[in-house]
Amino acid sequence: MKITDNSHQFGLVSILLHWILAVLIIGLFVIGNILEDMPRGPDKGQLMGLHQSIGMLVLALVLLRLIWRLRQGFPSPVNPDAKRLNHIAKLWHWALLVIILAIPVTGYLSADAGPRAVAFFSWFNWPDLIEPARDLRKQFGGLHGALNKIMIPLVLIHILAAFKHHFWDRDTTLKRMLGKS
């Protein structure tokens, strides 16, 4: 398998970034839901630190993925005759990338507006960009939560579309992201 994408398939870098981000985002969603129901205390603080660290890792990886996608472009559609659907699919992928970028940015800004530094796995603290401000923290936190709620149907439709391609259309769209085209 090639490292880079070509006009017919995704390369190793695109495939790894896609699936690593998928796993990390699912983990963040699970941790975020657990955090919502936890009472304040050291356990919640520790889990929040893990959530924030993984979120910042997602931010770095999605930035890398965006740069990679801008350099590589997208492989040609499996069915070039379905111009409207291909255009919608491309817009959908860009929307997913943008929202996956916006979620950790708003999470970071929310945490940064709080009273404690935002640590990365206890290795170092991220730069302090915002003075502690409760209202700003709530606003960014609310936006962070709203974006997560928007992302859920986007991802579900993305998954359903992949299954539709695989099981209904019987084309190689899903296989390309599995490295099997």
The model's pLDDT over 32-81, given as tens digits with 9 standing for 90+, comes to 999 999 999 999 989 999 999 999 999 999 999 999 988 888 778 778 78
> Which domains, ranges and CATH numbers included, belong to the chain?
12-177 (1.20.950)
For the chain, percent helix, then strand, then coil, each to nearest 5? Answer: 70, 0, 25
The model's pLDDT over 109-130, given as tens digits with 9 standing for 90+, comes to 999 998 888 899 989 999 888 8
Using CA atoms of 116, 32, 150, 179 in order, give the dihedral in degrees to the nearest 10.
Answer: 110
Of 50, 54, 67, 69, the C-alpha closest to 21 is 54
For 153, the token pair is 């149907």
Q: Hey, which residues does 124 pair with through a beta bridge? A: 120
